[in-house]
């Protein structure tokens, strides 16, 4: 259906929840009728009854899911990820690179750029997120030390050239590294979002990085110098400053009480739910190969190296959204701000995504009373229906312990 209505008794509008109907036309929300007794003169009608209609989730930090890698060298695999993500409520995302040597990263950027050029289905790629390689080895996390580089404008320009004009929209780096100031200022002049992450910076060094142009905290609390009563660290700076804070909300990477503390300090308007998912997200527990590592997925969903170091996440945006509502006690409206509106804002696409408003892209989710996903709509196209029998997992991915 190119033009159709969808109505519900519970639509999450920017100014509150209420009944109404949305007119979908040419991938956009063409018109909105609000109220219980709306009438229609044209088009097909989908009646969602009492199910929720929400703005689609936007994931600005994701390495893969369903066996698909965001930072591989095969555009078809990247498209596979885009087609998988609507099954977990994601309608737009920033494919995230990280962990590869310099030359390999250039190849990855070209592949993602090509996938973006030819994409016609699935969750839309709004821009590339480069997580690294300008990180501090003392907070390397899962990154291989040999792949971490000192930040230089020349290296950053090579990445920009490989990706193509305007493709890279988000870069995470450690502000204490030699050369970081020049790269941060260079990126901000080009309108590229800069996040601080994998950093051993002090409070003072982090605040200096914020002054240079850092506007986002990369997976807050993880791979950052933490808070000590005589050293507030990078985390203290991000919590006390005006930057937005990414949060992996799977209850593995950040304790719920720490999440509550961050909510009280930052407020709902400054938290960005991310998945930081790796390609093994959605797969059965076991051993997998990822980014030149052996990753062990536990029965509890924990993704880690053999030494216990956390290695990305196997959670997804829908899990984080539900955790905030069902355990943390925030409202559906507030959770939508963190999962859709705020990510759209930091990604620079709030003018067309992130909220349900006339003229914006028809990126919508239908959830039942228990917040289970019923339907995903990406730019007016039905991208997922509950009960579908299509297997969207990568059929080539196998557990190492099964090979």
| Structure confidence at residue 291 as a pLDDT band (50, 70, 90) | low
**The whole model's pTM is what?**
0.95
**Res. 403: pLDDT tops 60:** no
Q: Which residue has the tokens 């216990």?
A: 308
For the segment 94-102, the average pLDDT, to the nearest whole number, is 95
Question: Is the predicted pLDDT of residue 289 greater than 80, yes or no?
Answer: no
Cα 82 from Cα 119, distance rounded (Å) = 9
Average pLDDT over residues 80-97: 97
How would residue 353 be classed by pLDDT, with cut points 50, 70 and 90?
very high
Q: Which helix (H) or strand (E) holds 3?
A: strand 3-13
- The average pLDDT across 227-245 equals 97
* Strands 90-97 and 16-25, sheet pairing: unpaired
Strand duo 193-196 + 381-385: pairing: unpaired
Model confidence band, residue 244 (pLDDT cutoffs 50, 70, 90): very high
Whole-number pLDDT of residue 72: 83
Torsion of CA 206, 210, 214, 217, to 10 degrees: 50
pLDDT category at 282 given cuts 50, 70, 90 is confident
Tokens 């750029």 sit on residue: 113
Under the banding of pLDDT at 50, 70 and 90, the label for residue 42 is low
Which neighbouring-strand residues pair with 307?
none
- How confident is the model at residue 195, as a pLDDT? 98
Residue 299 has what pLDDT? 84
The pLDDT of residue 40: 63
């Amino acid at each position: 259906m190119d033009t159709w209505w969808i109505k519900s008794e519970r639509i999450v509008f920017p100014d509150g929840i209420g009944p109404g109907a949305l007119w979908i036309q040419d991938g956009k929300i063409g018109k909105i009728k609000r109220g219980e007794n709306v009438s229609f003169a044209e088009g097909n009608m989908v009646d969602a009854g009492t199910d929720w209609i929400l703005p689609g989730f936007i994931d600005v930090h994701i390495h893969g899911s369903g066996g698909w890698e965001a930072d591989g060298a095969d555009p078809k695999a990247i498209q596979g990820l885009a087609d998988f993500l609507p099954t977990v409520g994601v309608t737009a995302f920033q494919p995230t690179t990280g962990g590869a040597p310099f030359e390999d990263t250039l190849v990855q950027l070209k592949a993602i750029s090509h996938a973006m050029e030819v994409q016609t289905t699935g969750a839309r790629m709004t821009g590339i997120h480069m997580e690294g390689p300008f990180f501090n080895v003392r907070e390397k996390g899962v990154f291989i030390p040999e792949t971490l580089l000192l930040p230089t404008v020349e290296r950053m320009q090579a990445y920009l050239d490989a990706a193509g004009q305007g493709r890279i929209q988000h870069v995470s780096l450690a502000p204490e590294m030699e050369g970081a100031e020049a790269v941060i200022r260079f990126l901000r002049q080009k309108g590229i979002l800069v996040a601080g992450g994998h950093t051993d910076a002090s409070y003072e060094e982090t605040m200096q990085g914020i002054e240079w142009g850092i506007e986002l905290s990369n997976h807050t609390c993880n791979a950052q110098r933490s808070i000590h009563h005589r050293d507030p660290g990078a985390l203290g700076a991000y919590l006390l400053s005006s930057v937005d804070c990414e949060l992996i909300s799977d209850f593995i990477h950040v304790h719920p009480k720490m999440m509550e503390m961050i909510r009280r300090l930052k407020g709902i308007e400054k938290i960005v739910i991310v998945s930081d998912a790796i390609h093994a997200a959605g797969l059965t527990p076991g051993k997998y190969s990822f980014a030149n590592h052996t990753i062990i997925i536990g029965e509890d969903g924990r993704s880690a190296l053999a030494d216990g170091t956390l290695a990305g996440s196997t959670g997804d945006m829908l899990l984080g959204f539900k955790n905030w509502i069902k355990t943390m006690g925030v409202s559906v409206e507030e959770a939508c701000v963190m999962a859709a509106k705020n990510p759209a804002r930091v990604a620079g696409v709030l003018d067309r995504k992130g909220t349900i408003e006339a003229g914006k892209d028809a990126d919508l989710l239908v959830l039942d009373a228990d917040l289970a996903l019923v339907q995903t709509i990406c730019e007016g196209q039905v991208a997922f229906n509950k009960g579908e029998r299509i297997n969207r997992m990568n059929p080539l991915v196998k557990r190492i312990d099964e090979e």
